């Protein structure tokens, strides 16, 4: 953790300026690229689980002799997903979290600390963004400008706390949306399988061998994924609530050390949280950003 005695939050005007500098935009672009690479491996895992969950029962229903083979394929895919794909996803996620942390430290003018996670060198960051020829155009398209809801008249320490809470709350909503979608999909598909097996008058042994066993590895993997999402969402909600309680306590100023403690906690959550597929991010972005700015205005009394 940083030494809080050496930290003085910058003014909100400085934060607003720092977050729109070219170096800040490149850090945001690099972390977005790394998260996208990590989500590619996540998508491969999820698509594989979806294919197994959908087609394994169908194959077993109409070609019972293939039931054992589909079960073996399902088990092999889950093994690959939990080893190589999961390892690559985790490494890329930690790298992206480290870049995002570097962005926050620059914007909030926090003192340098030892590298966190699997940090990338400045040369690596430059390579991740080397393809960009018009940085400002890409920043506008990706909504990188004014990343945090800052108003110049707000005290700097309050702006940092508001930004940290906004980050935690934003991710909490995305994680909860993802979990709800997965739960709905699992309930619908389980209902379809049970109804179909009843219509086909499958025996219990055929149901267990042809449907339950082939999809069991995928179901367990999805269940574990959903459990991790729930834990991460709850942890972010707790952090957001802790920051909110301090923002609402107008009688006790927020200390710089508290900001650094919350920043440490944010990094831990970013580097270990399950990834959210981009489709959920894009579909809910406008609504979540509107809620973030409205909440920030409320804490500022505006």
Question: DSSP secondary structure string, 160-219?
Answer: HHHHHHHHHHHHHHHHHHHHHHHHHHHHHHHHHHHHHHHHTT--HHHHIIIIIHHHHHHH
Asked if residue 91 has pLDDT above 60, the reply is yes
Report the C-alpha gap between 297 and 70 in whole angstroms: 55
18 neighbors 10 (Cβ within 8 angstroms): yes
Looking at per-residue confidence, does 143 or 296 come out higher? 143
pLDDT of 207? 72
- Residue 117 pLDDT class (50, 70, 90 cuts): low
Asked if residue 286 has pLDDT above 60, the reply is yes
Q: What is the DSSP letter of 114?
A: S
Mean pLDDT on 85-101: 90
Asked if residue 2 has pLDDT above 50, the reply is no
Element (H, E) at 31: helix 22-62
Nearest 5 degrees, angle CA 76-CA 79-CA 81? 110
- Tell me: the pLDDT tens digits for 226-243? 888 888 889 998 999 999
27 neighbors 125 (Cβ within 8 angstroms): yes
Helix (H, G, I), strand (E, B) or coil at 225: helix
- Tell me: the pLDDT tens digits for 131-179? 788 888 988 888 899 999 888 889 999 999 999 998 888 888 888 888 8
pLDDT of 163? 92
Q: How many separate helices (H) and strands (E) can be counted in the chain?
A: 11, 0
- The model's pTM: 0.79
Q: What is the DSSP letter of 133?
A: S
CA–CA distances in Å: residue 197 to residues 57, 200, 201 = 10, 5, 6
């Amino acid at each position: 953790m940083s030494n809080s005695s050496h930290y003085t939050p910058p003014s909100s005007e400085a934060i607003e300026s720092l977050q729109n500098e070219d170096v800040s935009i490149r850090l945001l672009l690099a972390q977005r690229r790394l998260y996208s690479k990590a989500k590619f491996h996540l998508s491969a895992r999820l698509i594989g689980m979806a294919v197994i969950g959908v087609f394994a029962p169908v194959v077993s229903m109409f070609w019972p002799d293939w039931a054992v083979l589909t079960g073996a394929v399902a088990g092999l895919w889950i093994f690959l997903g939990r080893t190589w794909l999961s390892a690559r996803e985790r490494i890329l996620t930690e790298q992206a979290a480290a870049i995002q942390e570097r962005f926050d430290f620059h914007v909030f003018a926090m003192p340098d600390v030892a590298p966190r996670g699997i940090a990338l060198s400045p040369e690596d960051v430059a390579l991740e963004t080397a393809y960009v020829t018009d940085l400002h155009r890409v920043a506008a398209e990706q909504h990188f400008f004014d990343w945090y809801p800052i108003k110049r008249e707000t005290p700097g320490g309050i702006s940092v706390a508001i930004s940290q809470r906004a980050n935690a709350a934003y991710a909490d909503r995305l994680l909860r949306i993802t979990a709800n979608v997965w739960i709905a999909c699992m309930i619908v598909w389980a209902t379809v399988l049970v109804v179909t097996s009843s219509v086909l008058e499958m025996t219990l042994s055929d149901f267990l061998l042809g449907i339950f066993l082939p999809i069991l590895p995928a179901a367990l993997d999805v269940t574990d994924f959903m459990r991790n999402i729930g834990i991460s969402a709850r942890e972010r909600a707790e952090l957001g609530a802790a920051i909110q309680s301090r923002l609402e306590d107008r009688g006790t100023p927020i200390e710089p050390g508290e900001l650094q403690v919350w920043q440490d906690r944010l990094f831990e959550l970013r580097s270990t949280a399950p990834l959210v597929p981009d489709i959920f991010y894009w579909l809910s972005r406008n609504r979540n950003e509107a809620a973030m700015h409205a909440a920030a205005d409320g804490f500022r009394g505006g």
